[in-house]
Amino acid sequence: MSEAATPAALGYRMPAEWEPHAATWLAWPHARGDWPGKFETVPWVFAEVVRHLLAGERVRILVDDARMQRRAGDLLRRAGVGRARVEFFRVPTDRSWMRDSCPQFVRRDDGDVGLVGWRFNGWAKYGNHRRDARVGDALARLLGRRRWQPAVPDGRRPRPVVLEGGAVDVNGRGTVLATEECLLSRVQARNPGVRRDAIERLLGAYLGVRKVLWLGRGIAGDDTHGHVDDVARFVDERTVVIAEERDPSDPNYEPLRDNRARLARMTDQDGRRLRVVPLPMPSPVIFAGQRLPASYANFYVANAAVLVPTFNDARDREALAVLAGLFPSRPVIGIHAVDLVLGLGTLHCLTQQEPA
């Protein structure tokens, strides 16, 4: 695609998460293997998320078929969730992590909304991702929206660019957060041979950003190779919360300290210093000997609430208080995520916002 035809060249940008939503997209949970021995509780967590989302926006849910739609609808009814603004779409998925398999929405100032469909390859880890990889095509057809598919030259044929939504976080004004571990490391197989400057040009052309703030590594237990949405998040145009580990013996201590030091030296797209606010990490969450990616930074900013994963931890209250101070116009609501995180993701991972 020529630069003249990219979303940014046509006036589109990816809005910040706190800008108004038309809807939040979810995929109803069904991959039992993602939550071994705990799956039965996960749909109830989804129902709780839907209940809070409906206070301010529509909720659009992908289901595999009519049977799954009936089961989801029945559970929502039993959970006391109103259905007036819940819409189901029969689009089969492999998993329920819509932050990564769903296309990203971009918006133009005249209100037109389009889709950016990066290639999804199962986080360069899981082979069973073919249905998730087709979600972008399906939504473009269902919504009748224009869709762009970023690619780089590769011999005679362009090579689609791999990127998941959890790998980036934007302030809506031209700056994006990302980690080198996720997008630049040679260890994982997203875009071999694609250099830092090319990634920056792609993010600019397709998400409408002018500056990439590169952090280092993600958190222990994260199987996405360092998604930034467990590490650092914009909460307004110039304020970033950064996950902070206070125990020097924890494997997260040094990487998160390095990320905070980097942010302290960084500026936004206009050269203004960032305000950096520490957000505590919970105590390690371990299941069957495996460290899980528990992080309060995986919160989701909805129209009428900020939903924050909690872990039955002494620091839950502190994390909620920090975020409440940063979002004074929205209630900050904790969602119990000890079972949910067994699937190696929490609230931000399972949601994708569609701008109004």
Render 256-306 in DSSP notation, one character per residue.
Answer: HHHHHHHHHT-B-TTSPBPEEEEEEPPSP-EETTEEP---GGG-EE-SS-E
Section 145-171 average pLDDT: 94
Residue 155 has pLDDT above 90, yes or no: no
Rounded distance, CA 312 to CA 345, Å? 16
Distance of CA 132 to the CA centre of its chain: 15
Q: What are 50-94's pLDDT values in tens digits?
A: 999 999 999 999 999 999 999 999 999 999 998 889 999 999 999
Q: Which helix (H) or strand (E) holds 177?
A: strand 175-179
pLDDT of residue 82: 84
Amino acid letter, residue 273: R
Exposure string over 76-99, b if 16+ CB within 10 A, otherwise e: beeeebeeeebebbebbbbbbbbb
CATH architecture of 3-355: 5-stranded Propeller (3.75)
Whether the CB-CB separation of 64 and 135 falls below 8 Å is answered with no
Q: What are 253-304's pLDDT values in tens digits?
A: 999 999 999 999 999 999 999 999 999 999 999 999 999 999 999 999 999 9
pLDDT of residue 83: 81
Name the percent of the chain lying above pLDDT 90.
Answer: 95
Residue 161 has pLDDT above 50, yes or no: yes
Picking from 20, 23, 116, 105, the residue whose alpha carbon sits closest to that of residue 62 is 23
Instruction: Give, rounded to a whole angstrom, the gap between the first and last alpha carbons of the chain.
Output: 27
Q: How much is the mean pLDDT over the chain?
A: 96
Give DSSP secondary structure letters for 2-62: -GGGSTGGGTEEPPPTTSPEEEEEEE----GGGSTTTGGGHHHHHHHHHHHHTTTSEEEEE
Q: What are 334-349's pLDDT values in tens digits?
A: 999 999 999 999 999 9
Sorting pLDDT into bands at 50, 70 and 90, what band is 157? confident
Supply 14's token pair: 């990816």
Sorting pLDDT into bands at 50, 70 and 90, what band is 4? low
Overall size of the chain counted in residues? 356
- Active-site residue (options: 303, 349, 352, 353): 349
Residue 1 has pLDDT above 70, yes or no: no
3-state SS assignment for residue 157:
coil
Residue 181 has pLDDT above 50, yes or no: yes
Q: Which helix (H) or strand (E) holds 85?
A: none
Residue 2 has pLDDT above 80, yes or no: no
pLDDT of residue 185: 86
For the four alpha carbons of 77, 80, 84 and 89, in that order, the dihedral sign comes to: negative
Sorting pLDDT into bands at 50, 70 and 90, what band is 3? low
Ranking 151-165, 226-240, 247-261, 318-332 by mean pLDDT, the lowest is: 151-165
Give DSSP secondary structure letters for 100-125: HHSPEEEEETTS-EEEE--B--GGGT
Q: Give whole-number Cα distances, 316 to 83, 169, 204, 312, 334, in Å.
A: 30, 23, 36, 7, 8
pLDDT of residue 187: 73
Q: What is the pTM of this model?
A: 0.96
Q: What are 190-232's pLDDT values in tens digits?
A: 999 899 999 999 999 999 999 999 999 999 999 999 999 999 9
Q: What is the DSSP letter of 329?
A: T
Picking from 22, 27, 21, 144, the residue whose alpha carbon sits closest to that of residue 88 is 27
Is 102 in the active site? no
Q: What are 96-106's pLDDT values in tens digits?
A: 999 999 999 99
Picking from 107, 206, 212, the residue whose alpha carbon sits closest to that of residue 152 is 206
